[in-house]
């Protein structure tokens, strides 16, 4: 039964990864995806690996060695000089229980020389070692050449590899092909070697290097399959092909019948292979001028394979006849143990199969069946289209290279996708955090705006209370005094002028409450404003005021100067309204670190033990400033109010 080798066997090892990974790392993600698609597209039309079953010739084996550094060589001598352009090495294949199929004892390092009768030293045309990462593989190794004339080819294995069976160092090879165009000129040529191990089963011999039998079945995976022609049991018909014209024939390829497609196989033996096959060519249909093209005698099981290849002396003919001529088969015919059949008959004239689609007749005639004579020349086998030998093996080598590369590209893509997924997750978390941050920022901004609105309302109320309230109270007092001064024109005029002044200041204060930008002219000189207000409001009281660090006061922002002024004015208003004091003392001390304002009177005083004794208007002003305010009774009676404002902590300095 044919055994299909999967593309992703574990034979593709770490050595290939080490070779290809640096190149893959240089590719972008789209380039990797494109490369993977290209590989899949290129793999589809390529021939597939299908391995032979049964028994037969394997190939060449050298003597065994205990170390790899024991050179071995093989040399193929042609019947004449040929222009060659490609060499192929087909490895022997071992079925590993764990790793699957793999090349066995393929040389780790070798070189190939070609020469002519006059060039006995030869020319090195190729050289490989471990750095070329040829292993593991089951595919042929294609060695392309610049077209060169050669009458011999020599392969020198300079470093051996281990044989899987006993871990001995040995050189093994299934087939060595040398192509001149589409023709394997090494086929059935003379082979010499440094050593040659033969076995009792007859599977190993250096001559098997050029017998044309390989470990593969031709599986092109193209077009529809075709069932091979097989004669009825006990019949050996003579097959005749009419080529339609005369052609010079030089090669014959016979594709043998697949024994069975069941598991296990129903037939054991060489189904349809004549023991003695004679192929004649002729120009006349009656073969009166017959010329023998091939006389094949089967001496053992190793003389047959999936494709039987022969190079024949070039002979011009139109008709070709295939017949079994061994008289010993008569007994087998009587016992109904023999029949004849082929999957395809190929006759080549200058690398062209001139038998393709040509009619075939048999004598005696064969009954109609699914295995008819037309399948002998339809160009197909059980797997589909039959390819030229060189093209088929090149496709296997190309498939190997692509199947080695594909898992590397897929792995690199998986790593990129994994990194991309991680980055995407990170970006998702970052986006979530950013959204949360934006929401939190909006919430904070809204809270700040609400607090700012509250502070504006509070400041507006404080300004109305402190400034307008004080001014209106003063205007009221002045009006009362004006009533008492109706008999004194000069005094009445002065009182009215003062009313006018406070009316204007009230207007400015009102505009300040509406728009703080219009109040920038207020308190430009804080010391002057405080002295003026104290002299005006405390005109009937004993009063003293002192300042220290006036230069620091000028560095305060306009808003802070206004708040300090209003706080002080509110203190004086409360003293006038509620304390009944006769004496007031003011002291302001400013340093770069803090400002301390103290206002002391000798009035009725407040209860310092009562937390609500301090007027709310003073607490509100202190809060707007970001300052601390305290009230305490001095030793002589009255009230001592202290405001402390730290400049560095709140950043009040300009």
pTM of the model: 0.68
Is residue 466 domain-resident?
A: no
Confidence of residue 269 (pLDDT cuts 50, 70, 90): low
Average pLDDT for the chain: 85
338 or 435: whose pLDDT is higher? 435
Neighbours of 644 (CB within 10 A): 15
pLDDT of residue 352: 95
pLDDT of residue 456: 57
Query: Above pLDDT 90, what percent of the chain?
Result: 54
pLDDT tens for each residue of 28-73: 999 999 999 999 999 999 999 999 877 889 999 999 999 999 999 9
Indicate if 268 and 298 belong to the same structural domain: yes
Indicate if 210 and 252 belong to the same structural domain: no
Confidence of residue 9 (pLDDT cuts 50, 70, 90): very low
Is residue 37 domain-resident?
A: no
Please tell me the distance from the alpha carbon of residue 390 to that of residue 179, in angstroms, as a whole number.
Answer: 8
Is residue 114 domain-resident?
A: yes
Question: Which range is least confidently modeled, 241-245, 257-261, 436-440, 530-534?
Answer: 257-261
**Model confidence at 652: pLDDT above 50:** no
Looking at 162, 193, 215, which one is the last position of a domain?
A: 215
Indicate if 203 and 227 belong to the same structural domain: no
Neighbours of 340 (CB within 10 A): 23
pLDDT of residue 492: 73
Contact 249, 349 (CB under 8 A): yes
pLDDT of residue 274: 84
Is residue 391 domain-resident?
A: no
Looking at 386, 402, 423, which one is the last position of a domain?
A: 386
**Alpha-helical segments (H) within 485-615:** 489-514, 526-537, 550-553, 558-574
Indicate if 346 and 382 belong to the same structural domain: yes
Is residue 227 domain-resident?
A: yes
Residues spanned by the domain of 195: 53-215
**Model confidence at 8: pLDDT above 90:** no
Indicate if 92 and 185 belong to the same structural domain: yes
Indicate if 203 and 235 belong to the same structural domain: no
Looking at 168, 185, 215, which one is the last position of a domain?
A: 215
Q: Give the number of domains in the chain.
A: 3
Is residue 456 domain-resident?
A: no
Strand ranges inside 181-226, DSSP E:
183-184, 190-193
Indicate if 96 and 197 belong to the same structural domain: yes
CATH of the domain at 347: 2.60.120.260
Question: Which range is least confidently modeled, 161-165, 498-502, 541-545, 567-571?
Answer: 498-502
CATH of the domain at 612: 3.30.565.10
Confidence of residue 221 (pLDDT cuts 50, 70, 90): confident
Region 304-321: mean pLDDT is 95
Residue 186: C-alpha distances to residues 154, 209, 389, 395 (Å): 12, 9, 13, 20
Indicate if 173 and 101 belong to the same structural domain: yes
Is residue 31 domain-resident?
A: no
Is residue 398 domain-resident?
A: no
Indicate if 292 and 230 belong to the same structural domain: yes
Indicate if 285 and 302 belong to the same structural domain: yes
Indicate if 185 and 244 belong to the same structural domain: no
pLDDT tens for each residue of 133-173: 999 999 999 999 999 999 999 999 999 999 998 999 999 99
Confidence of residue 464 (pLDDT cuts 50, 70, 90): low
Indicate if 316 and 205 belong to the same structural domain: no
Please report the DSSP string for 291-302 in residue order. EEEEEEE--SGG
């Amino acid at each position: 039964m044919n055994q299909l080798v999967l593309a992703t066997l574990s034979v593709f090892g770490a050595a290939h990864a080490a070779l290809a990974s640096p190149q893959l790392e240089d590719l972008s993600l789209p380039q990797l995806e494109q490369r993977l698609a290209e590989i899949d597209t290129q793999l589809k039309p390529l021939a597939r690996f299908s391995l032979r079953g049964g028994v037969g010739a394997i190939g060449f084996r050298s003597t065994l060695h205990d170390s790899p550094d024991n050179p071995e060589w093989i040399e193929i001598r042609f019947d004449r000089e040929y222009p060659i352009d490609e060499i192929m090495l087909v490895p022997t294949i071992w079925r590993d229980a764990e790793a699957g199929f793999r090349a066995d004892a393929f040389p780790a390092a070798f070189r190939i020389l070609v020469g002519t009768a006059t060039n006995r030293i030869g020319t090195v045309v190729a050289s490989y070692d471990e750095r070329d990462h040829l292993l593991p593989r089951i595919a042929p190794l294609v060695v392309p050449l610049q077209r060169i004339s050669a009458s011999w080819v020599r392969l020198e294995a300079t470093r051996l590899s281990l044989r899987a069976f006993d871990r001995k160092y040995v050189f093994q090879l299934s087939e060595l092909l040398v192509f001149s165009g589409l023709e394997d000129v090494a086929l059935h040529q003379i082979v010499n070697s440094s050593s040659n191990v033969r076995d009792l089963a007859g599977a190993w011999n250096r001559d098997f290097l050029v017998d044309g039998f390989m470990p593969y079945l031709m599986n092109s995976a193209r077009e529809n399959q075709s069932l091979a022609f097989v004669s009825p049991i006990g019949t050996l018909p003579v097959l005749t092909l009419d080529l339609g014209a005369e052609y010079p024939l030089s090669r014959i390829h016979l594709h043998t019948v697949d024994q069975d497609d069941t598991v296990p196989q129903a037939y054991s033996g060489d189904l349809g292979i004549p023991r003695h096959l004679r192929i004649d060519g002729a120009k006349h249909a009656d073969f009166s001028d017959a010329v023998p093209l091939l006389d094949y005698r089967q001496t053992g099981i190793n003389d047959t394979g999936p494709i039987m290849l022969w190079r024949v002396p070039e002979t011009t003919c139109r008709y070709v006849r295939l017949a079994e001529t061994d008289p010993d088969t008569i007994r087998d015919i009587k016992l109904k143990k023999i029949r004849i059949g082929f999957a395809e008959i190929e006759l080549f004239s200058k690398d062209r199969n001139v038998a393709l689609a040509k009619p075939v007749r048999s004598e005696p005639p064969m009954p109609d069946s699914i295995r008819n004579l037309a399948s002998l020349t339809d160009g197909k086998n059980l797997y589909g289209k039959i390819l030229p030998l060189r093209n088929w093996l090149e496709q296997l080598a190309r498939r190997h290279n692509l199947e080695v590369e594909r898992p590397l590209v897929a792995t690199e893509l998986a790593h990129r996708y994994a990194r991309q997924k991680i980055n995407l997750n990170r970006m998702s978390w970052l986006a979530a955090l950013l959204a949360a941050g934006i929401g939190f920022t909006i919430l904070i901004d809204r809270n700040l705006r609400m607090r700012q609105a509250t502070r504006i309302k509070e400041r507006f109320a404080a300004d109305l209370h402190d400034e307008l309230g004080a001014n209106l109270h003063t205007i009221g007092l002045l009006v009362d005094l004006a009533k008492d001064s109706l008999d004194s024109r000069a005094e009445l005029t002065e009182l009215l002028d003062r009313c006018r002044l406070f009316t204007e200041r009230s207007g400015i204060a009102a505009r300040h409450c509406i728009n703080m930008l219009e109040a920038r002219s207020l308190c430009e000189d804080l010391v002057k404003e405080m002295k003026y207000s104290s002299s005006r409001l405390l005109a009937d009281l004993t009063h003293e005021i002192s300042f220290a660090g006036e230069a620091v006061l000028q560095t305060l922002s306009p808003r802070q100067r206004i708040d300090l002024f209003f706080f002080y004015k509110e203190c004086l208003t409360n003293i006038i309204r509620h304390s009944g004091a006769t004496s007031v003392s003011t002291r302001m001390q400013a340093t770069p670190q803090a400002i301390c304002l103290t206002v002391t009177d000798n009035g009725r005083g407040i209860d310092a033990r009562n937390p609500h004794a301090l007027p709310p208007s003073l607490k509100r002003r202190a809060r707007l400033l970001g300052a601390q305010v305290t009230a305490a009774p001095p030793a002589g009676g009255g009230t001592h109010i202290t405001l402390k404002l730290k400049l560095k902590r709140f950043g009040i300095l300009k």
